[in-house]
């Protein structure tokens, strides 16, 4: 093994630069080489910021909209009494709310009929509701199937399904990664390998663009059909500095997950009004935290 103090060039590559080399069981592991790991959070506050939010889209909680109603073939989105508890005369965005319900209904019905669901429109709509796709935030979509790291003559590679992901930027920094998994090809281990690789990759891209080794806080949100899981990583300045000298030997990245379990149906289910409220509140807190966090304005 090369000594800790030796200088080596570490390069991160997009998948398009080289033909993917399939990982073999004996190949070095991407996340192990970079000392990146994922762990269940003991409490929600270890992932979701403890910030006060007074203005979140509570009109989308919709206590009447539950899995029973979304499974019904007779559901009619035009019957407002089926949607709202109270008088709707003071609700200004009824059409927007109906759009969200219709996308949620379609996701549930498609899953029921075919076992699959392309919920990209639903995910985009949730980001719009949470005001994470409007200024000062920037949203972009990218698709790639691997993340590669070159250390001297060694190649460390993370492979995962070629699926779209959304990157939410704020002030030229990566603030949040939205990963949308499809049920038919979901593998919980590959899924989290991808999340870890993307968090590292986004952080590395930010420091190269800003020419700074500074602490970064990066959130990730995974959608699997209607199930939502949140991740948070705090990447220290010391980690980036050590990476400048080669693969890290002392510093590491620990990513926390909430809810605690990693599985197809272990996330918060937005078909349930209580869990839908928790997701909307979590997104609002992440947004508020990013906006007020001084580290994002340096």
Question: What mean pLDDT comes out for the span 228-240?
Answer: 95
Question: What mean pLDDT comes out for the span 10-19?
Answer: 38
Question: What mean pLDDT comes out for the span 131-147?
Answer: 72
pLDDT tens column, 87-133: 676 777 889 999 999 999 988 988 877 666 668 889 889 989 999 88
pLDDT of residue 143: 60
pLDDT of residue 185: 64
Asked whether residue 160 carries a pLDDT value surpassing 80, the answer given is no
Q: How confident is the model at residue 225 (pLDDT cuts 50, 70, 90)?
A: confident
Q: b/e per residue, 192-225, with b = 16+ CB within 10 A?
A: bbbbbbbbbbbbbebbeeeeebeebbbbbbbbbb
Is omega for the bond preceding 143 within 30 degrees of 0, making it cis?
A: no
**In angstroms, rounded to a whole number, what is the distance separating the alpha carbons of residues 249 and 239?**
9
Q: Which of 246, 232, 241 is nearest to 207 (CA)?
A: 241
pLDDT of residue 29: 74
pLDDT of residue 67: 93
**In angstroms, rounded to a whole number, what is the distance separating the alpha carbons of residues 121 and 274?**
22
Question: What mean pLDDT comes out for the span 7-20?
Answer: 38
């Amino acid at each position: 093994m090369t000594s800790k103090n030796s200088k080596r060039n570490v390069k991160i590559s997009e998948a398009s630069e080289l033909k993917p080399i399939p990982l073999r069981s004996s190949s070095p592991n991407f996340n192990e080489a970079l000392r990146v790991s994922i762990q269940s959070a003991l409490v929600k506050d270890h992932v979701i910021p403890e910030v006060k939010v007074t203005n979140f889209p509570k009109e989308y909680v919709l206590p009447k909209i539950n899995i029973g109603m979304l499974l019904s073939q007779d559901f009619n989105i035009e019957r407002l009494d089926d949607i709202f508890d109270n008088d709707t005369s003071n609700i200004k965005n009824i059409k927007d709310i109906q759009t969200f319900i219709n996308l949620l209904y379609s996701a549930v019905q498609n899953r029921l009929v075919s076992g699959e669901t392309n919920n990209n429109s639903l995910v985009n709509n949730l980001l719009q509701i949470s005001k994470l796709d409007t200024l000062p935030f920037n949203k972009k979509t990218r698709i790639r199937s691997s993340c590669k790291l070159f250390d001297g003559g060694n190649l460390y590679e993370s492979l995962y399904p070629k699926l779209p992901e959304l990157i939410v930027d704020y002030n030229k920094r990566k603030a949040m990664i939205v990963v949308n998994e499809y049920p038919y090809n979901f593998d919980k281990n590959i899924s989290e390998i991808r999340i870890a690789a993307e968090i590292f990759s986004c952080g590395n891209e930010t420091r190269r663009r800003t020419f700074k080794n500074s602490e970064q806080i990066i959130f990730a949100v995974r959608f699997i059909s209607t199930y939502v899981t949140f991740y948070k990583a705090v990447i220290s300045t010391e980690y980036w500095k050590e990476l400048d000298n080669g693969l890290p030997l002392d510093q590491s990245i620990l990513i926390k997950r909430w809810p605690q379990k990693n599985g197809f149906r272990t996330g918060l289910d937005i078909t349930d009004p209580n869990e839908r409220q928790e997701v909307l509140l979590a997104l609002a807190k992440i947004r508020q935290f990013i906006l007020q966090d001084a580290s994002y304005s340096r």
